[in-house]
Each structure stands twice: as C-alpha cells, then as structure tokens.
Amino acid sequence: MIDTFDLIVKLTAAFGPSGQETEISRVISDLARPYADEISSDTLGNLIVHRKGSGPKLMFATHMDSIGLVVTYFEEDGTLRFGKLGGISPKEIINAPIRFSNGVMGAVKVHGKADEDKLSLDDLYLDIGAGSRGEAQSMVRLGDTAVYATVSMRAGNRIISPYLDNRVSCAVLLKALERLKKTEYDLYVVFTVQEELGLRGAKTAAYGIDPDFAIAVDVTGAYDYPGAPKAGSAVLGGGAAIKVMDSSVICHSAMVEKMSDLARQQSIKAQQDVLTRGGTDAGAIHQSRLGVVTGGISIPCRHSHTPTSIADLSDVESCIKLVTAFTENK
Ligand SMILES: [Zn+2]
C-alpha cells in the first residue's frame, strides 16, 4: 500500500458525503481487498471487511462519510440555497471552494447584508457560475450534495486537509490491516455510513455483526490552538488518544485499561481522550442489543468540519500501532 500521507490524500479526495458513500466505499474496498478474507456491504452501505479467526468477535468501526452541503433551492439569479449534512458552522465555510460529484465547482458566499456575528446558513449561498435559474438547474439537481474542494497539504509533520474527519481514521485501519500479522479474533473492520447524521450506519452494522468487543476509530477535537474552547483533553503530537468519554459514550473501563496497558508495554505514545462534546460510532455500538464492550481510539484533530482541518502524522502512526497491538493481543 502507498505511504500513510499519500493514503490520506487519496482518501480525502474521494467523494462521499453522508448518504452518498459509493465512491469512497469503492476506493476503500480496492485498498482493503488484499488483506481481507471477505468484503461485503449491507443494506445501508456499510463496507464490512472480514478477517476470519477463531473468536471472539472484534469489530472496528470507522465512518467513511463526510459532512456536506445539499442543494435546497434555486434562486432566479442562478445562485443556490443549501442545507447541511452534519455539523457545519456557517462562519467557518465562507469562501470555501466546493465541488459536486459530477464535477461542477463553486464557492460558498455570504449575502452582502448579513450580520456576520449572527450568521446562519440562510445568509449563505453557492455560486456555481450560473447566470440564471435555468442554467443552474442544468448543472445540478435539487438534493445534490457538494463537498469542500480544498486539497490536502503537508505542513512539517502535519497534514492540513478538508476531510481528516474521518478519512484519516480510514487510513489508520487500512494501514493496520496491512501490518497485521496474525489475530485470533474473528475480525470485522467496518467502514460505516451516515455517522455525521447520527451514527446511523454503525447502529445497523453492530446489530448485524453482534460483536463481543468493539472499537470506534475517529478523530477527536484537539483544542490546543489560540482562543480554543476548553472542550477536550487531546493535543496534537500527544499520541494516540484513548477514548474515555465523549457526549455519546462512556467507554468500557476494561477497554480503556487494556489499551493503556498495551501502549505502555509497547512504547506507543498515547494520551487520554476526554471530550465534553461530539460523539462517535461508539455511541451507537455500545448500546446495540444487550450492550457491547466498547472503546475508542481517536486521532487528535484541530478544526474538524472546516475546509482546513489539521492532524499530526506522528499521532496517526501511534494510532496504527495501537490498533495493530490490540488486534494481535487477545
Ligand atoms: Zn467523525
């Protein structure tokens, strides 16, 4: 497989807003094939990579969908009104370049009379270069979705990219699959859909697989930049973040302890992830059926859901090592 940075670049470039995961699913499926006994997808579109083992069942879940913008109305002048798929802050997307799956490009702009301190999505519009409603309607359809068209860049040992949430975690699990020598677990690596809309794919995947243990791999907020709110403990460069809690889950103490022990024994740089907002697929999985013993491994990420999120490649490497270590040590 290509190196980690190039892999993240490739994954972040694939189209895949919530509910439209066909392209990203195909890219991941091609990359995972050499390391899988079986690859399937379920009704909602979750991509399930199965590596057979004697058991118990271990399920990793990482969402492959991204946030996005959805066309809701065509103005007479050819501009578009839009809604959001997932959490988007209006002020953070002004001037962002965007693209639709059919290649139509555009930019997010703000209405000249808007009060910039109280912005809502109603104050924003998309300019796709159309001069009239008819022309715009010939380019995109109502309900079409767009994603940020910013590109991934390397900045020292960091990566700046539009969709580290959550393609960086997809890269972590693909790399772990590549490195994994042997496992006794009956291993399911699930690339889930529609996480950004409320953990929808993880819910059905967990029900279907019925795992004994589960680990959600996702980004976590790193609030270590100027003026950041005190909303979480993780910092860039602090290593793999072992999830203790977020607003969707209190992780099972046995999982937190096992991961912390493994990190210590194998000298994997790690930190605790205590987050007072946000959620991950762990939130849905641990409540599946009669409950699942669930933990989380998080990649610290600044400015998630903006066109330029930032992560540290050494943290990514620590997360790959921790996933691999956990899977190889029953
Ligand atoms: Zn996420």
Q: What is the CATH number of the domain that holds 269?
A: 3.40.630.10
Cα–ligand 1 centroid distance for 198 (angstroms):
10
Q: What is the pLDDT of residue 114?
A: 83
Q: Are 211 and 187 in contact (CB under 8 A)?
A: no
From 117, 148, 179, the end of a domain falls on 148
192 and 181 in a common domain: yes
Q: What are phi and psi of 231, to 5 degrees?
A: -115, -5
d(CA 298, CA 301): 9
Cα–ligand 1 centroid distance for 36 (angstroms):
24
Cα–ligand 1 centroid distance for 182 (angstroms):
28
Active site residue 195: yes
Q: What is the mean pLDDT of the chain?
A: 96
Please count the structural domains in the chain.
Answer: 2
Q: What are phi and psi of 95, to 5 degrees?
A: 75, 5
d(CA 149, CA 146): 9
Q: Among 86, 293, 280, 110, which Cα is nearest to 196's?
A: 86
Cα–ligand 1 centroid distance for 117 (angstroms):
27
- Which pairing describes strands 105-110 and 124-127: parallel, antiparallel, or unpaired? antiparallel
From 92, 117, 148, the end of a domain falls on 148
pTM score, two decimals? Answer: 0.96
Cα–ligand 1 centroid distance for 50 (angstroms):
22
Residue type, 96: A
CA atoms within 13 A on the CB side of 82: 31
> Which among 195, 257, 317, 328 is annotated as catalytic?
195
Q: What is the pLDDT of residue 77?
A: 98
273-321 pLDDT, tens per residue?
999 988 999 999 999 999 999 999 999 999 999 999 999 999 999 999 9
40-76 pLDDT, tens per residue?
999 999 999 999 999 899 999 999 999 999 999 999 9
Q: What is the pLDDT of residue 93?
A: 94
197-255 pLDDT, tens per residue?
999 999 999 999 999 999 999 999 999 999 998 889 999 999 999 999 999 999 999 99
From 124, 148, 172, the end of a domain falls on 148
Q: Among 138, 136, 137, 129, which Cα is nearest to 109's?
A: 129
Q: What is the pLDDT of residue 113?
A: 84
* 154 is a domain residue: no
Q: Among 301, 286, 278, 290, which Cα is nearest to 256's?
A: 286
139-156 pLDDT, tens per residue?
999 999 999 999 999 999
What is the pLDDT averaged over residues 80-96? 95
* 207 is a domain residue: yes
Report which secondary-structure segment, H or E, holds 171: helix 164-179
